[in-house]
Amino acid sequence: MHSSNHIIKFADDMTVVGLINKDNESAYREEVRELVSWCKVNNLYLNVDKTKEMVVDFRRARRDHSPLAINGSSVEIVRNIKFLGVHIAENLTWILNTSSITKRAQRLYFLRKLREAHLPSPILTTFYRG
């Protein structure tokens, strides 16, 4: 592993975080290639359709970032991602995450009110999942 990269593993998810310095993406792209080959050697299926890439770039003159290619397929570049329950946006603001938590809190408030009205469990479950 390169010192500018970090691999974060949790259950069946894996995240590669790479620092691209002076437009040199070689260490990051090499880390991804090594991860892909490790998956093949260990008989793990890497679902490229579920694989996403998010670029955080605060330079004034932003350059286009060419997408990664894994097994001949391009990895989708996204503007935000949900990582371990936290919504992370490419500009690193908390707006998206805060609105998500607010919506969840509102849903739990209404669920509590429905429970206080003595509604049956199947209806409460349907409301929560909806």
Would you kindly state where each structural domain of the chain is located, as residue ranges?
A: 1-78, 94-130
Name the token pair of 121. 């469990």
Position 20 confidence tier, pLDDT thresholds 50, 70, 90: confident
Q: What is the mean pLDDT of residues 74-92?
A: 94
The answer to whether residue 17 scores a pLDDT higher than 80 is yes
- Coil, helix or strand for 96? helix
Question: What is the pTM assigned to this prediction?
Answer: 0.73
State the Cα–Cα distance between residues 106 and 108, nearest whole angstrom. 5
The answer to whether residue 61 scores a pLDDT higher than 90 is no
Q: Give CA separation, 69 vs 22, 117, 128, in Å.
A: 21, 54, 39
pLDDT, tens digit, for every residue of 99-111? 999 998 998 999 9
